[in-house]
Amino acid sequence: MDEIKNKEYAELEEKLQLRKALVDITNRIHAAQNIKQILVDLKDGILNLFSAHSITIYVVDRSRNEIYSLLLIGAQVKEIRVPINNRSIAGYVANAGQIVNIADAYDAAELKAIDQGLTFDQRWDKKSGFRTRQILAAPIFYNKILMGVVQILNKKTGIDKFSEDEKGFLQEISDVLGVAFFNQGRYARKRKTRFDYLINRDLLKEEDLDRAWDDSREAKETIEDFIMKQYKISREDLGRSFEEFYNCKFITYSDRIAIPGDLLSSLNKEYLRRELWVPLEKKDGVIDVIVDDPNNIIKRDMIENLLKTKSVHYDVALPEDIIKYINHFYLSPDDDSTIIDILGKFDVEEEPLDEDEDVVTESDSVIMQLVNKIILDAKAKRASDIHIEPNVGKKNLEVRYRVDGDCALYQTLPYSYRAAVVSRIKIMSNLDITIKRLPQDGKIKFRRPGSEEIELRVATIPTQGGVEDVVMRILAQGGTTLPLTAMGMSARNEKELRAILSKPYGMILVVGPTGSGKTTTLHAALHEINRPDRKIWTAEDPVEITQYGLRQVQVQSKIGFDFAAAMRAFLRADPDVIMVGEMRDFETAKIGVEASLTGHLVLSTLHTNSAPETIVRLLDMGIDPLNFADALLGILAQRLIRTLCKKCREAYHPDRLEFDEMVQDYGEEPFRKLNISYDDKFMLYRPKGCNACDKTGYKGRMGIHELIVATDGIKRLIQKHETVEVMRDLAMEEGMTTLLQDGIYKSIQGVTDFKQVRRVCIK
């Protein structure tokens, strides 16, 4: 009898201790200063009640339909988010509003018994090495409104489920948390600011924020810039805080946003900069506008009056990003000064005493501004090359840009600036300014504060009259790999190219003149097959496009590290795919063929005019026809043609003579297969010119292609060393369209005009 009483007494004592601990936890939850304190600091106390290994408390984020929690990892607080759906246990509890008690999270049958779609996400276990077994999870409600989820993992003793008593304790704690979360939300609503997210997560203290308002004014900085710099707040956290406060998206600057010319036509640039807003695009009749304060009703009324519509969607952005968008849209760099403004800062004598005397030197601030402006304007105008062309005597220095393959005069500068401009560029590219009679080449890495880095390849060439020309090529930015779908290939060409790219070994060549987009196409092809299970080596000169997952090598011919040497090194480095920038000589081509025959996929380029000509060129170099026939998968010839400006292109009905000329160039028999006839409905397009295309009528470029696939028939012709004409005829019989045919078809589609096709290809 005494034993029974002692046992009952011990059980009662244990329950009293648990009840006391529960009351203590309840008091601590209600006394918490903020949500972060509940999510991070109070977990251990709750965990002790259940004698369990782990606990996570989630709070609902209604705007994203997610629940989130905070974890203390080292000294940093990290956020985890879970969608409210049945793909996770916590997500299911939030979605269904039901408590769950699971014996084994890895038991699919047990989960299916709760809900057919319920699964357990094992990623965290795999990452941490923790093995989840029992799960007890309950929704947190306040007045039937979901506030969050509390989830407890793994009992420390035994392998059974959590008990019914523990289930009841968790229900009580979830009720307490519901009241606490509601009160925290109500308190937050009383003092709601756009920085609440940062304060609630202890990323910023309220006293620091109060002090920052005054300190930022003294420093003449925006409050956002000040707290990011002073308190190490990331732009991402600041963005989340703005999104939570304004209930809209946080937009950061990207130069990939298309310029909304139709929306900007009636707006003044200076006004937009002053008022800090700009339209981004019009979609389905609604205009997207970014503004520094979407809650400013007066500013919103003003915007809607100017745009003449109430259908406006507002997103928030930092003032500096809004300014960048405005500058980008109006095609001007961060400073507003024009070349004329800069030149006006420096007066030079009309007639210097000595023509060789340096009137203006490369160290003058005006020259620095001038060269910076030339580079920034070239970038803004989408130029691929900048040509600095000094003239002899007292003729002006000319600056030309190549845009979409066409050179055009950008600016003329006084002849007295010519030596200083060239010297300044040489200094920026680490070249010897004392050497003026020999060509030199180098690189410039140019960055303006707050803007992206611009990399330029520089070549200086001595010209007649003792002056030097400079040509600067603006290299493509890293990470700008285009997909294969953006290459503008015909359906047949894209399908066949994908088919040969899927082969485990062989040789694929991309051919064409310099500047025809061969490297861009090769990187697009590599992007298709760039997977973790493939080792891809590339040898390039220079490395213009960087791509994650590739191992890219810059060749250095001056020290003997040429393409052939790079390929020999690659073959010792366990490759699956090798891309070599160019097959310039017999040795490189021979190694490429051998590599493709020994189980490697080899991609390269060649400077030839067409796909069939490439075969003959390589055979003439001395490549063995039998090996080459076995190795070859396909050859893609390409050119770049200027495309018509979509905003101003003009439709017209061509005369019969123009139509017949196109048919003759395409080939009468192949053209008949296109089922295009000459009638009153047949239309072509021609350039007109508008502000969007600088009155040229053309904007951008696209490729025209000729793909020869190494079929059995083509391989037999290679082995026989047949002529170009025989190979072309067979390839066309098997479905190949020539460069000229592809270009003509694209002109019929209205992408370009026949004149541009004729400029880049003959056959």
pLDDT at 225: 85
pLDDT (average), residues 194-201: 80
What pLDDT is attached to residue 41?
65
Please name every residue paired with 322 in a beta bridge, in sequence order, or none if there are none: none
Q: Are 233 and 204 in contact (CB under 8 A)?
A: yes
Residue type, 412: T
Rounded to whole angstroms, the maximal C-alpha distance in the chain is 124
Q: In the structure, what pLDDT confidence band is assigned to residue 477 with cuts at 50, 70 and 90?
A: low
Query: Residue 138 has what pLDDT?
Result: 92
Most confident of 40-49, 153-162, 559-568: 559-568
The residue whose two tokens read 């990452």 is 127
Assess whether pLDDT exceeds 60 at residue 703. yes
Is pLDDT larger for residue 504 or for residue 331? 504
- CA neighbor of 326 nearest in space, from 252, 383, 270, 249: 270
Q: Kindly state the helix (H) or strand (E) to which residue 625 belongs, with its residue range.
A: helix 625-631
Is 450 a residue whose pLDDT tops 70? no
In which band, very low, low, confident or very high, does the pLDDT at 289 lie, cut at 50, 70 and 90?
Answer: very high
Question: Residue 278's pLDDT is what?
Answer: 92
CB atoms within 10 A of CB 345: 12
Predicted pLDDT at 678: 86
**Nearest C-alpha neighbor of 643 from the set 700, 686, 694, 689:** 700
Supply 688's token pair: 């007109």
Mean pLDDT of all residues in the chain?
A: 82
Q: Which of 68-82, 185-199, 468-482 has the highest mean pLDDT?
A: 468-482
pLDDT at 82: 87
Q: Residue 630's closest CA among 506, 723, 496? A: 506
Least confident among 202-216, 271-285, 305-319, 475-489: 475-489
**HSE (side-chain half, CA atoms, 13 Å) at 760:** 33
Digit-coded pLDDT (tens) for 378-410: 888 888 899 998 887 777 788 888 888 788 777
Return the minimum-mean-pLDDT range out of 88-92, 154-158, 258-262.
258-262
* Sign of the CA dihedral running 492, 497, 503, 505: positive
Task: Report yes or no: 277 and 322 within 8 Å, Cβ to Cβ.
Answer: yes
pLDDT tens by residue, 556-607: 877 888 888 888 888 888 899 999 988 888 888 889 899 998 889 999 999 8
What percent of the chain has a predicted confidence (pLDDT) above 90?
16
pLDDT at 707: 93
User: What are the tens digits of pLDDT across the range 493-502?
Assistant: 999 999 999 9
Average pLDDT over residues 527-538: 89
Closest CA to 208 of 241, 233, 239: 233
Long-range contacts of 467-470, Cβ-Cβ distance < 8 Å, separation of 24 or more: 467/390, 467/391, 467/392, 467/418, 467/422, 468/390, 468/422, 468/436, 469/387, 469/388, 469/389, 469/390, 470/386, 470/387, 470/388, 470/422, 470/425
- Angle formed at CA 342 by CA 338 and CA 347, multiple of 5 degrees: 140
> 657 exposed, middle or buried (CB, 10 Å; 0-12, 13-18, 19+)?
exposed
pLDDT recorded at residue 350: 41
User: Per 3-state DSSP, what percentage of the chain is helix, strand, and coil (rounded to 5)?
Assistant: 40, 25, 35
Q: What is the pLDDT of residues 421-449, one digit of tens each?
A: 898 899 988 888 888 889 998 888 887 66
Binned at pLDDT 50, 70 and 90, residue 755 comes out as: confident
Distance CA 14, CA 747 (A): 86
Q: What is the pLDDT of residues 325-383, one digit of tens each?
A: 888 777 654 444 545 456 555 544 444 434 444 455 555 667 888 888 888 888 888 88
One-letter identity of residue 405: G
The average pLDDT across 663-672 equals 88
Which pLDDT does position 469 carry in this prediction? Answer: 92
DSSP string, 26-61: HHHHHH-SSHHIIIIISHHHHHHHHTEEEEEEEEEE
DSSP state at residue 417: G
Residue with the bigger pLDDT between 411 and 639: it is 639
- Kindly tell me the sign of the dihedral angle through the C-alpha atoms of 158, 159, 165, 168: positive
Report which of residues 251 and 762 the model is more confident about: 251
Residue 734 backbone phi and psi in degrees, to 5: -90, 5
Question: How high is the pLDDT of residue 696?
Answer: 79
Structure tokens given for 561 = 């590290």
In DSSP terms, 58 is beta-bridged to: 149
- 457: pLDDT strictly greater than 50: yes
Confidence at 37, pLDDT banded by 50, 70, 90: low
Environment class of residue 599 by beta-carbon count within 10 Å: exposed (0-12), middle (13-18) or buried (19+)?
exposed
Tell me which residue has tokens 């005006």.
366
What one-character DSSP code corresponds to residue 710?
-
**Residue 121 near residue 85 (C-beta atoms within 8 A):** no
pLDDT at position 453 is 78
Angstrom distance (rounded) from CA 150 to CA 16: 23
**pLDDT the model gives residue 54:** 82
Look at residue 204 and tell me whether its pLDDT is greater than 70.
Answer: yes
C-alpha 14/C-alpha 154 separation (Å) is 21
Joined together, the tokens standing for residue 644 give 């018509």
* Whole-number Å distance between alpha carbons of 569 and 566: 5
At 261 the pLDDT is 61
In whole angstroms, how far apart are CA 740 and each of 669, 704, 752?
A: 15, 8, 13
Closest CA to 101 of 138, 145, 52, 70: 138
pLDDT at 524 > cutoff 50: yes
Residue 546 has pLDDT above 90, yes or no: no
Contacts of 672 (CB under 8 A, 6+ apart): none
CB 418 within 8 A of CB 362: no
Joined tokens for residue 664: 């003759």
92 exposed, middle or buried (CB, 10 Å; 0-12, 13-18, 19+)?
buried
> For the sheet containing 506-511, what is the strand order?
551-554, 536-540, 577-580, 601-606, 506-511, 632-644, 698-709
pLDDT at residue 513, rounded to an integer: 87
What is the chain's alpha carbon radius of gyration, rounded to the nearest angstrom? 34
Which pLDDT score is estimated for 61? Answer: 84
Dig out the tokens for 627 from the structure: 């090996």
6-20, 164-178, 227-241, 329-343: least confident range: 329-343
Place of tokens 């304790």: 169
Q: How far apart are CA 731 and CA 722, in angstroms?
A: 13
Q: Label the pairing between strands 135-142 and 145-155.
A: antiparallel
> Span 529-542, mean pLDDT?
87
**Amino acid 88: pLDDT:** 87
